[in-house]
Structure formats: C-alpha cells, structure tokens
Amino acid sequence: MESVLSLSLFWLFLCLVAEKVRGNEVLELAGNAARDNKKNRINPRHVLLAVRNDEELGKLLQGVTIANGGVIPNINPVLLPKKSSSEASEKNPKSKCSSEGSCSAAGITIASKANYTRRISPPFVQFELEIVGILPLFSSRVGSVPSSDIKKDTSGVVGGDPKPCCNCLGRDTIANAAARVGPAVVNLSVPQGSYGITNGKSIGSGTIIDEDGTILTCAHVVVDFPGMRGSAKGKVDVTLQDGRTFEGTVVNADLHSDIAIVKIHSKTPLPTATLGSSSKLRPGDWVVALGCPLSLQNTITAGIVSCVDRKSSDLGLGGIRREYLQTDCAINVGNSGGPLVNIDGEIVGVNIMKVLAADGLSFAVPIDSVSKIILHFKKSGRVVRPWLGLKMIDLNEMIIAQLKERDATFPNVNKGVLVPMVTPGSPTDRAGFRPGDVVIEFDGKPVESIKEIIEIMGDRVGVPMKAVVKRANDNLVTLTVIPEESKPDM
C-alpha cells in the first residue's frame, strides 16, 4: 500500500515539475507526506499544498477532474504546519505566513478534501488531495468558482458550466455595490410647519447622476405631494449621505412614466452614481435597493430580479402601456425614487412602488426607459409621446386559437397586434382603423408587438405613417395614420 502511495506521489511530483509549477514556486510541498511529527501528524494519504492565492490554485486545478461534480466541498479554516509555513516564507519573502504557521494573504486559509483525478500520460493516477490555500471568501454555489481566473475542466463533470462565473456573490459583493452608489443617494423632504415653525417631512429618495447636481427621482415624490405648502411648489430639501443639505428645484417631471429631475447647486464636488443597462438583466440576477424608507436614511436591502418586463396591465394600471422590473427587494414608503443597482454598483432601475397586500413584490422603472426620458427632457424639456388613440394587444398562439374558436372569420395570422378598441375622433379613427384589425406592418416594417410600434414611432408627431392591417377573411388593408402629441404632464 505504501509503495502505491509513494508511486502516486512520485507521479504527482513529476506532473508538477513538467508543468513548471514547482519551478515557478506557484506551490510548495508542506513537508514530507510520510513525515511523522510529534506535534503535527500528516496523514500519508493526503498531500498538503500551500497556495498563496486563487490564481495559483487555478493553475493547480487546470486539468484536474473533480470527482464529486465540480464543487469544492467542506471549506474550513485550517493552520499550516509551522515548519512548512516558515519554509514557504523563506522561499518566497512575499508570502505572509505568521510564526504560528497560518497564512493570511488575499483572504483566508482554507482546506478542502475531495477525490481528484489528474490525467498523466501514460497512465493516470487517482489520489485523494487536500489543498490548503489562500483564497478570498466566496459563496458555495453549484457551478461557481472562486475567481474568473480559474479555468475548470468540465469535460468529465455532468452539468458543469463551461464558463466560470466571474461575478459570483461573495461576502463583500452587496456591500461593495452599495458603497459605490450610496454616497450619491439623497433624501428628499418638503418644508412643512405651522405658527412660524418649519420642519421637513421626508417624501422619498433620489440619486445624483451628474456632477452638475442633477438628481433622478420619481414624479409622484416631488409633484403635488399631499401636504406640500403652496409656497413650496417645485421646491424640495435635499439631504446627502454626508449630512449636507441643499434646496432643490423640480425642473422636469413626467407623470406617465413617474420620472422627475431635481436640480441642486453646490460649490463643492458632489458624489455621483453610474447609469447601467437594464436590458442585460435576467430573472434571478442579484440587485440592491437603496433609499430612505420611513425617513430612515442610508437604508439598503437586497434581492433578486423576479421579472424583467412586468406589464402595467398585469398590475391593473391604466393609461399608457409601461413595463417594470419586478424584484423581491424590501421597499417601503420613502424608497420611491431611490436607485435599484446591480452587483457592479450601476443603476439599473428607479424604485417606484410595491404591492401593499403582499411581501416581496416590488417594482422599478428600467433604467433604459429612464435614459430615453432624460434625453427627452434635455431636448425639449418634456417627454414627447405620439398618440394614436387605440388599444392594442400582443397576439400569441394561445390568444389566436381562442379568437378563432369564437369567430371563424378571424384573420389567419401567427403573430401581430390586435386592435380591440378605437377611440372616436382619434388619429386612428380618422385613418379608418376598426376594432378587430390585426396590425402586421407599421411604417414599412413588420411588427409583432406593441413595443415595436412604439419604438418605430419614437417621438415623431404629425408625420404620416402607413399601417398594414389584416381583417376578417384575411382582407389586407393599408391605412395612413398621423400621430398626434399626447397631452404633456408639465
């Protein structure tokens, strides 16, 4: 048995030497595996390897198949043997091993025991290896690895992810994301009082997105807030995380999207947050909500994205069609207008509302939509929205099947936009649209959703656009509609 173990260790040594791992001092043998020390016994079945960081561990694990499915098990803090630690320090002055024998470099010292198979040509050696190394803390999630630098061979792992996770949730992930955007999150309050005594009532949150003092928030927070004094219309008090207070002016607001811009002026530099992209979000992604719920400034909660395109109609909201990010972040009164950020600390949404009758149902305006609104504000001071004057429904296979069961003359389509109602006197009414029409082409482009029609129109008002609709018995009709501007909010 001992001869077999010795042969295995010998093959391991040759493998490491052949790959120049030992020559580069990436790892060091922590004593002789067969050594019997009175103070420190080393099990001859295990080989202790001192690794200084996760990059070195990645080099060690290249070409190693983990027999237990790809997850390093049983991560526990350990102490390296005194002698081996001192030897490691002598060979590498940069290593930070204390006299007690524990290494503390980039993270903690860990030990993990598992069956590994390393292919060596000719044959291969299967051995039990206990790796001791310096790694930053990370979560033990299936399919995740400590660092993006570690390349894992998943050819022999069932269900293995071929691409390492470079943004795994770690011990400081949420804290780091909050720290990046936190200083730019502000508390908004309105001056209130009586008998000459004035105090401020917190009404919501906001985020400084530009060094010139531009603050992004919700329109319902700063426009016609209940209890706001007449003399304070358009004025809010802005309190930063560092305690500085400014008088802010509401410069733009759009009630349809519930987005507003507040401006402050400061002689000293202001912290700012970075706008990200909501189009890259997926259900299950981690997000962080920041704000001042119930006047509790600097409050942070975390959760995941539950849905990336929750329709306003799903929530029973009328008016213009909107889409929201649904999360399970805990938000309350005062969170409105605060940022929703990803784990990189970039704003991906503006928190707007929650469902009062349930927990874990919070909603935010996607930052991609907000960015377009900000461009409208800069261009014309308001959001220009073309108005057609009709209701629309996205068609899918199930809806089409039901409509055909009810009416055999329903047009033969696979997708499109159904018009269930036309407003009398509207642009589409004058153009000749009828209830039951299915729009399949708009302004020369095929369309399958309401979103595509809205994107095609953009902010073009008063511009004739041709629409191709399919009617009963598959009759094709081309109509010309001239969109009008919807009534602006401000």
- Please write the tens of the pLDDT for every residue from 319-364: 667 889 999 999 988 899 999 999 999 999 999 998 887 888 999 9
- For residues 9 and 126, state if they share a domain: yes
Q: Which of 104, 138, 171 is the last residue of a domain?
A: 171
Residue 399: name the closest of 442, 454, 441, 448 by CA.
Answer: 448
Q: 163-202 pLDDT, tens per residue? A: 445 556 788 999 999 999 999 999 998 765 544 444 556 6
Active site residue 46: no
Average pLDDT over every residue of 243-267: 92
Is residue 272 one of the residues assigned to a domain? no
- For residues 156 and 118, state if they share a domain: yes
- For residues 214 and 244, state if they share a domain: yes
- Residue 193's DSSP bridge partners are 198
Q: 409-448 pLDDT, tens per residue? A: 999 999 999 999 999 999 999 999 999 999 999 999 999 9
Is the previous residue joined to 93 through a cis bond, with omega within 30 degrees of 0? no
- Catalytic residue, chosen from 84, 147, 257, 336, is 336
- Catalytic residue, chosen from 202, 220, 237, 254, is 220
User: In this structure, are residues 456 and 439 in contact, taking their beta carbons and an 8 Å threshold?
Assistant: no
- For residues 11 and 112, state if they share a domain: yes
Residue 36 — φ and ψ, nearest 5°? -115, 100
Active site residue 336: yes
**Total Cβ atoms within 10 A of residue 143:** 17
Residue 391 — φ and ψ, nearest 5°? -95, 150
- Catalytic residue, chosen from 258, 369, 376, 437, is 258
CA 16, chain centre distance (Å): 40
User: In this structure, are residues 106 and 89 in contact, taking their beta carbons and an 8 Å threshold?
Assistant: no
Active site residue 254: no
Q: 42-92 pLDDT, tens per residue? A: 343 344 444 445 555 555 555 444 433 444 433 333 333 434 444 444 444
* Sole residue written with tokens 């975390």: 302
| pLDDT band (50, 70, 90) for residue 266 | very high
Residue 372: name the closest of 364, 361, 362, 380 by CA.
Answer: 380
Is residue 202 one of the residues assigned to a domain? yes
* Sole residue written with tokens 């009532």: 201
Region label for 172, one of left (φ > 0), alpha (ψ between -120 and 50) or beta (otherwise): alpha
**Total Cβ atoms within 10 A of residue 182:** 19
8-state DSSP, 370 = H
Is residue 268 one of the residues assigned to a domain? no
Whether the model pTM is above 0.85 = no
For residue 447, the enclosing domain spans: 386-485
Is residue 442 one of the residues assigned to a domain? yes
Report CA-CA distances (Å) from 5 to 14, 21, 38, 126, 461. 14, 21, 22, 10, 81
| Number of structural domains in the chain | 4
Question: What residue type is 275 in one-letter code?
Answer: L
Q: How far apart, in whole angstroms, are the C-alpha atoms of residue 171 and residue 353?
A: 29
